[in-house]
């Protein structure tokens, strides 16, 4: 495997969570993003956190924190663009801050199935998860142009650039994400 930078996407507005910073919500005694960090760290060579508020709290992790280069919270693609511009590795493995159960072989499985594609993402039995993706940094220019046209559809962009989904249907809980207070309570009880 080539060197890979792991990127935790924590830059959203968290509308369904009442505007609270999802990554900093307490889950089993620590901020939600810390669960993702602990699972992702052993799988990658470098780490970044993409965040747009509460930067000092994310910096307490000791991981470099970057913000969107585009204004007005344009979505996960903006965080991906900032990370692809900031990383020194050819590949970045993205993970949303609200997926605390990602598999311990998440990055390796994406790598094994990417073939020559510049991007691959997770498909669980219930849906695609394009924010859980392995992306080559050569897509940064195309991504910037896509965002400048006003586009925001993440999976559409990845498909347009020759990416595809990788089957992870064997472990649905691993890709459960926490979007609402009910999700936080439900998944807190199950883990």
Nearest to 68 by CA among 81, 55, 84, 54: 81
Give the span between the Cα atoms of 122 and 152, in whole angstroms. 19
Residue 9 labelled as part of a binding site: yes
Residue 98 labelled as part of a binding site: yes
- Give the CA distances from residue 59 to residues 29, 93, 132, in Å, rounded to whole numbers and listed in that order: 18, 20, 22
Residue 95, SS3?
A: strand
146 burial class (0-12, 13-18, 19+ CB within 10 angstroms)? buried
Residue 68 labelled as part of a binding site: yes
Contact between 120 and 32 under an 8 Å Cβ cutoff? The reply is: no
Contact between 50 and 83 under an 8 Å Cβ cutoff? The reply is: yes
Residue 22 labelled as part of a binding site: yes
Binding-site residues for GTP sit at 9-11, 22, 68, 98
Residues annotated as binding site for Mg(2+)? Answer: 98
**Residues annotated in the binding site, as ranges?**
9-11, 22, 68, 98
């Amino acid at each position: 495997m080539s060197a890979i930078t792991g990127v935790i996407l924590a830059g959203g507005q968290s509308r369904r969570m009442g505007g609270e910073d999802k990554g900093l919500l307490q889950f089993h005694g620590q901020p939600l993003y810390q669960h993702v960090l602990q699972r992702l760290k052993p799988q990658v060579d470098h780490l970044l956190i993409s965040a747009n508020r509460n930067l000092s709290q994310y910096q307490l992790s000791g991981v470099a924190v970057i913000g969107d280069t585009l204004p007005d919270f344009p979505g996960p693609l903006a965080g991906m663009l900032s990370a692809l511009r900031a990383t020194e590795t050819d590949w970045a493995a993205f993970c949303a801050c609200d997926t605390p159960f990602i598999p311990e072989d998440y990055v390796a499985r994406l790598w094994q199935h990417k073939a020559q594609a510049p991007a691959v993402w997770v498909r669980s039995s219930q849906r695609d998860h394009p924010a859980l993706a392995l992306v080559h940094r050569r897509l940064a220019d195309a991504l910037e142009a896509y965002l400048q046209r006003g586009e925001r559809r993440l999976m559409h962009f990845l498909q347009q650039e020759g990416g595809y989904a990788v089957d992870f249907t064997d472990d649905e809980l691993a890709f459960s994400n926490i979007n609402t207070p009910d999700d936080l309570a439900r998944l807190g009880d199950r883990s």
